[in-house]
Amino acid sequence: MTAETASVEKQNPMLAPRLAKVTLNIAVGKSGEQLEKAVKVLENLTGQTPSQRNAKKTIRDFGVHKGEPIAATVTLRKSVALDTLKRLLQAKGNTIKASSFDGMGNVSFGIREHIDIPGMKYDPELGIFGMDVAVSLEKPGMRVSRRRRSPGNVPLKQRVSREEAQEFFRKQFGVEVT
């Protein structure tokens, strides 16, 4: 971010990006006991009850049937999202690849083992799970595009760019973008 852009943000707080949501996903690939264990891991990590996601189509080779629950996901917002994201970034060593950022202010990365996250302990009954983390950033005013009554278009300067998202992570979390 240039000095000119930083001075504009100080003058206009509506141009400063903020954390919209953090979504955690554990895809097990089959229903049953494994999925219940994944739900418990997400519950222990976030303190919220995860929702289950169903398979969209049948894949015989993997033994997956359409409509069968195969994954668990939870969406975090506000202070809970902020605190959890700090822990997740510590598990990644406070580094994120530049290719993980998209052009709309979203960042995605994976955690190989949930026991790498600070505060999580290994439980032999649960096992070890990896997870996908998706972070969405937005600027104030993005609700205009999502509201039910009279939705409107949001101008490009009100959307979060890749560079703004990287700068947000550097400043807010001390993350090194490689």
Give 69-84 as a DSSP string. EEEEEEEE-HHHHHHH
**Tell me, what's the pLDDT at 21?**
97
**Tell me, what's the pLDDT at 6?**
61
**Tell me, what's the pLDDT at 135?**
98
Query: Is the distance from CB of 116 to CB of 91 less than 8 angstroms?
Result: yes
Give the confidence band of 85 by pLDDT, cuts at 50, 70, 90.
very high
- List the single range of 40-44, 58-62, 96-100, 158-162 with lowest mean pLDDT: 58-62
**Tell me, what's the pLDDT at 53?**
96
pLDDT for 1 beyond 60: no
Q: Where are the alpha helices (DSSP H) in the chain?
A: 3-11, 33-46, 78-91, 143-146, 162-173
Rounded Cα gap, residues 62 and 60, in angstroms: 5
Share of the chain above pLDDT 90, in %: 86
3-state secondary structure 15-36: HCCEEEEEEEEEECCCCCHHHH
Query: Is the distance from CB of 20 to CB of 138 less than 8 angstroms?
Result: yes
Residues recorded for the chain:
178
Rounded Cα gap, residues 23 and 11, in angstroms: 31
- What pTM was estimated for this model as a whole? 0.89
Rounded Cα gap, residues 46 and 71, in angstroms: 16
Average pLDDT on 144-160 reads: 94
Phi/psi region, residue 145 (left: phi>0; alpha: psi -120 to 50; beta: rest), is: alpha
Number of Cβ within a 10 Å radius of residue 46: 18
**Tell me, what's the pLDDT at 76?**
98
Query: In the predicted model, what is the mean pLDDT of the chain?
Result: 93
- The structure tokens listed for 83 are 């605190």
pLDDT for 7 beyond 80: no
The pLDDT tens digits for 103-130 are 998 999 999 999 999 999 999 999 999 9
Per CATH, domain 17-143+150-177 is 3.40.50.1100: no
